[in-house]
Structure 1
Amino acid sequence: MERQMKTGIRPAPAILVYLSVLSCVSPAKAQSENPFIGKWTATWENKDGRSLQANVVITEAGGTWQTLAQRKLDPCVGKEAQLEIKSVSPKEMRFTARHSEALMGCKDTNIKMQMQPDGTVTGSRGQDEMRFTKN
């Protein structure tokens, strides 16, 4: 009977070790599930045909968006805005650039990034088609 108790107790430490290792691996795996994490340059043409760029930094928790232009008539352009990630999959990410938090009166922008079969990343910002290049 004593021998059965020792045998019955031995798997418990092995299970604890397995669960400990599993809990350490899971966060690392979750981080690698977002292929859009990193620094990007977004390029697009506005409705007037003017070419624009933005620096985009995507992290697990969000990131930032900053258009690389400034307009005297629009103080919202050029201000760095925090990103709120709405959804992520291996092929698509949707997020909102919170311009309203950067400067009162500015409007938030919804952006979509899509991984294409050839590895390029395209997207949209309202009606504007975009291209993303990883830095």
Structure 2
Amino acid sequence: MDTFTATEYFVENVKPVVSSATLIAPNQIKVVLSKAVDVTTVSAEDFDVYVGTTQESEAAGFTVTGVAAGSPATDNQFIITLVDGLSAAEYAQTLTLKVVAGATDVIADTKGNLVTTGDVVISK
């Protein structure tokens, strides 16, 4: 039998997914992704927050910021700040985070793998 040696190059192709979404304040949700993503691809347009079946306003106060200190190029944890805090009646309803493909960008890791879109129930 002849010996065969080859070098193979594999491209990492695992898509990031939302591991958890947790309400940490009446107006803030902590989102944890399964892996670090390029922070320049993360924006408010990538997330929709629903209280019951009503989408929360994404006016000027709706922001998404990284949790890591400083200004790292990648992060896997983000804080969504809502325009206003949830009322007791809103808190009593099911809260849902929808990860969507934004109009101008999609969340991606440093290898270009796009985040898996879909719905995640926000824990309280």
TM-score, normalized by length of structure 1? 0.31
Q: Which has the higher contact order (CA 8 A, sep 6+)?
A: 2
- Structure index of larger Rg: 1
Q: Select the structure that is richer in helix.
A: 1
TM-score, normalized by length of structure 2? 0.32
